[in-house]
Amino acid sequence: MIATEKITVAHGNGGTQMQELLRRVVWPRLGNAILAEETDAAVLPAPAGATLVFTTDSFVVQPLFFPGGDIGHLAVCGTINDVAMMGAQPAALALALILEAGLPMATLERIVDSIAATARAANVPVVTGDTKVVEAGKADGIYITTSGVGWRTGTAPTGWRSVQAGDAILVSGTLGHHGIAVMAARAHLPFMSTLQSDAAPLHELVREIVAVDDGVRWLRDPTRGGLAAALNELAGQVGGAIELDDAAIPVAEDVRGAAEVLGLDPLYLANEGRCVVVCAAAAADAVLARMRRHALGRTAARIGTVSAVGGRGSVVIATSFGGRRIVDMPSGEQLPRIC
Amino acid sequence: MIATEKITVAHGNGGTQMQELLRRVVWPRLGNAILAEETDAAVLPAPAGATLVFTTDSFVVQPLFFPGGDIGHLAVCGTINDVAMMGAQPAALALALILEAGLPMATLERIVDSIAATARAANVPVVTGDTKVVEAGKADGIYITTSGVGWRTGTAPTGWRSVQAGDAILVSGTLGHHGIAVMAARAHLPFMSTLQSDAAPLHELVREIVAVDDGVRWLRDPTRGGLAAALNELAGQVGGAIELDDAAIPVAEDVRGAAEVLGLDPLYLANEGRCVVVCAAAAADAVLARMRRHALGRTAARIGTVSAVGGRGSVVIATSFGGRRIVDMPSGEQLPRIC
């Protein structure tokens, strides 16, 4: 690579320059037999008796690199997690890049390296993709849309329709690291530089969670809008009265401190390495134990209860001072471009 | 809708405003039972014995609306076609929107209407999606990434590895309407205003093409870079000497005239409603007949031959004046933002 090389509009032409970009920069890094076919779509075997899970997500995070991750790592984790939250195991990813003319080639290489490393570690190959180039000034360097397919077999949570009064609410670990790391990077706050995004692929943790058919109802990764948005959405869907115990919600000290400085509530911070689980109360201890045995679930905790369903949805938190307050759906422009 | 309403950064917050946007503007238009589950991923049945086909494409076309189509219609057609070119029937689409703050709500509604109408007519539902918002000045109003899944059963072309010396090259109809319509709209050339994009979903035409197992080898939709790029890519893959007959290549008079004025070669114009077929020479007449019976294949034609494989890939055209010239892979910035 020439150190000063940059993406140009010609790299999006469907011709020589695009082929060269793909063959030199993208495909070797992501390399696998399906991608090597150079077709416009990937052909994949379908396991007998499985159900297909299909998802897509665009990533426009700013800055592109932040402590603990980058847009490429985040895109792979986010799409794997959306498949995993349906109780499925991801099988393959599709990668659509919108590049801004002027993007340094070295930056693209670094991002594709990160995509490749994350996909390889998760054992979920990128099997197809697309590349477009827009003029300088558009697209903030790069936007990434990752789509995913996966297979659901055997036991899997049946989703929000199965949530019942009395169910327990668990989280797989401390909340807010991803959101606060991106915000701190954007605000150039050096004293927060130890904060790291904890974005991670959760499909192996989910495999443990759903391994036993003991009453896991619903899984969700609390991304944009954080735990507050995820639980408000669930409350709205099931008409559920959700009660949280503030003291039980795991938030690391450094996240709590940084959130205070930035005037943010950790319940609203985006995560990409955590999941929320609703399960039968009787199964809560067993599910917690399964989560804690996994590296990504060491700090898992039971944080609340669905006290009723079929009514008016609400999320209420009992504070350490004995009070109660409503946890609203996030509103307004808080924390844009976090994923 | 309030006539002056615009997309704001808050519509991408994962909270109240985003839910409201989805529930009021997006989901009712695309409405189907799977989308109504409001989960982060769609769950789809997998037909027994079928192979999965999976694809993604970003669309950054400018202008957003052009004669004969718009970015939404194009996105649905493009992704359906990428699935179809593997000899598969599309089953479902995922829709990822990157919206620019300031985009008039009426523009978004018009685009989602177009997506919905195209998907409904093609009988391929949008089953999952994602919405992000970036600041004003980015994203040219809207970028769309559509992904698709489909199923391949029974007979299907085996792809470029099966292409043999002597095979016939067919196209499903006149070339260049899509590319020239977008270029004319961008250049504000009023005398070309009769030119219409012919973007269309090709899966039903493809079903006819592959209905008989009589030697169909390879299918491709000649999008960016046109017929020239598609055949140069094939020539490179199979080491094929491809010979085209200029007089046989169907180009409508209005496209030919407009291309001349704009200094463009119709072989390089993007298409999204056409496909190129390579088949055994003995099957060419039968495949042509099957194509011509379909509304989207009326002007199908046999345009050339793969005269050799396993050598140095080349695409050569015999001109009407008795000469021969090389059709190169497109190079440089020609026709950016065409899809």
CA distances to A91, B15, B63, B302 from B187, rounded to whole Å, are 44, 40, 10, 33
Is the domain of A301 the same as that of A267?
A: yes
Give the CATH number of the domain where residue A172 resides.
3.90.650.10
Query: Is B33 part of the contact surface with chain A (CB cutoff 8 Å)?
Result: no
| Inter-chain touch B58–A145, beta carbons under 8 Å | yes
Query: Cα B298 from chain centroid?
Result: 18
Residue A262 in tokens:
């930035």
Is the domain of A189 the same as that of A229?
A: yes
Residues A65, A106: contact at Cβ < 8 Å?
no
Query: Is B92 part of the contact surface with chain A (CB cutoff 8 Å)?
Result: yes
What is the number of structural domains in chain B? Answer: 2
Query: Is A5 part of the contact surface with chain B (CB cutoff 8 Å)?
Result: no
Is the domain of B174 the same as that of B148?
A: no
User: Is A284 within a domain?
Assistant: yes
User: Is B339 within a domain?
Assistant: no
Q: Tell me what percent of the residues of chain B surpass a pLDDT of 70.
A: 98
pLDDT digits (tens, 9 = 90+) for B113-139: 999 999 999 999 999 999 999 999 999
Give the CATH number of the domain where residue A84 resides.
3.30.1330.10
The Cα–Cα gap between A178 and A200 comes to 10
In chain A, residues with a C-beta closer than 8 Å to the C-beta of B34 are none
Is the domain of A164 the same as that of A296?
A: yes
Q: What pLDDT band is residue B142 in, cutting at 50, 70 and 90? A: very high
In chain A, residues with a C-beta closer than 8 Å to the C-beta of B9 are 333, 336
Is the domain of B255 the same as that of B195?
A: yes
In chain A, residues with a C-beta closer than 8 Å to the C-beta of B134 are 60, 140, 143, 337
User: Is A334 within a domain?
Assistant: no
The residue from A129, A152, A175 where one domain ends is A152
The residue from A127, A152, A177 where one domain ends is A152
User: Is B262 within a domain?
Assistant: yes
Q: What pLDDT band is residue B225 in, cutting at 50, 70 and 90? A: very high
Q: Scan for tokens 């082929």, then name that residue.
A: A19
Q: Is the peptide bond before B330 cis (omega within 30 degrees of 0)?
A: no
Q: Which chain B residue has the Cα nearest residue A48? A: B48
| Inter-chain touch B14–A270, beta carbons under 8 Å | yes
Residue B220 belongs to what H/E stretch?
strand B216-220
User: Is A188 within a domain?
Assistant: yes
* DSSP SS3 for B16: helix
Is the domain of A239 the same as that of A121?
A: no
Q: Is B55 buried (19+), middle (13-18) or exposed (0-12) by CB count in 10 A? A: buried
Is the domain of A166 the same as that of A71?
A: no
Residues B227, B249: contact at Cβ < 8 Å?
yes
In chain A, residues with a C-beta closer than 8 Å to the C-beta of B57 are 96, 130
User: Is B80 within a domain?
Assistant: yes
pLDDT digits (tens, 9 = 90+) for B279-332: 999 999 999 999 999 999 999 999 999 999 999 999 999 998 889 999 999 998
In DSSP terms, B169 is beta-bridged to B278, B304
The residue from A124, A152, A180 where one domain ends is A152
Q: For residue B322, what is the DSSP state?
A: S
Q: What is the pLDDT of residue B184?
A: 87
| Inter-chain touch A92–B54, beta carbons under 8 Å | yes
* DSSP SS3 for A115: helix
In chain A, residues with a C-beta closer than 8 Å to the C-beta of B130 are 56-58, 145
Q: Is A312 buried (19+), middle (13-18) or exposed (0-12) by CB count in 10 A? A: exposed
Strands (E) located in A182-288 = 216-220, 241-245, 276-279
The closest alpha carbon to B140, from B23, B58, B225, belongs to B58
Query: Is B83 part of the contact surface with chain A (CB cutoff 8 Å)?
Result: yes
Q: Scan for tokens 């369903």, then name that residue.
A: A309
Is the domain of A243 the same as that of A319?
A: yes
User: Is B63 within a domain?
Assistant: yes
The closest alpha carbon to A39, from B152, B158, B316, B96, belongs to B158
The Cα–Cα gap between B254 and B241 comes to 31
CA distances to A98, B162, B203 from B227, rounded to whole Å, are 24, 20, 19
Task: Indicate whether B199 pLDDT > 60.
Answer: yes
**Strands A89-100 and A126-134, bridge-based pairing:** parallel
End-to-end CA distance of chain A: 29
Q: What is the ipTM of this complex?
A: 0.96
3-state class percentages of chain A: helix first, strand second, coil last, to nearest 5: 35, 25, 40
Is the domain of A101 the same as that of A245?
A: no
Residue A55 belongs to what H/E stretch?
strand A51-59
Tell me the pLDDT of chain A (339 aa) as tens digits.
Answer: 566 899 999 999 889 999 999 999 999 999 888 888 888 899 999 998 899 999 999 999 999 999 999 999 999 999 999 999 999 999 999 999 999 999 999 999 999 999 999 999 999 999 999 999 999 999 999 999 999 999 998 777 879 999 999 999 999 999 999 999 999 888 887 767 788 999 999 999 999 999 998 999 999 999 999 999 999 999 999 999 999 999 999 999 999 999 998 889 999 999 999 999 999 999 999 999 999 999 999 999 999 999 999 999 999 999 988 899 999 999 987 778 889
The Cα–Cα gap between A184 and B324 comes to 62
Query: Cα A194 from chain centroid?
Result: 21
Of B29-43, B219-233, B284-298, give the lowest mean pLDDT range.
B29-43
Q: What pLDDT band is residue B26 in, cutting at 50, 70 and 90? A: very high
Residue burial B18-31, b: 16+ Cβ < 10 Å; e: rest? bbebbeebbbebbe
Q: What phi-psi label fits residue A215: left (phi over 0), alpha (psi between -120 and 50 degrees) or beta?
A: left
Is the domain of A169 the same as that of A318?
A: yes
Residue A5 in tokens:
């090389």
Is the domain of B142 the same as that of B230?
A: no
User: Is B309 within a domain?
Assistant: yes
The Cα–Cα gap between B64 and B48 comes to 40
Is the domain of B80 the same as that of B27?
A: yes
Residue B324 in tokens:
């021969």
The Cα–Cα gap between A51 and B46 comes to 6
Q: What is the pLDDT of residue A2?
A: 61
Query: Is B120 part of the contact surface with chain A (CB cutoff 8 Å)?
Result: no
Order of strands, edge to edge, in the sheet holding B216-220?
A: B216-220, B276-279, B168-171, B301-308, B241-245, B314-318, B324-326
* Min distance A95 CA to chain B CA atoms (Å): 7
Q: What is the pLDDT of residue B158?
A: 77
CB B204: neighbour CB atoms within 10 A?
17
Q: What is the pLDDT of residue B37?
A: 85
Per the structure, the complete domain to which residue A229 belongs is given by 160-326
Residues A117, A77: contact at Cβ < 8 Å?
no
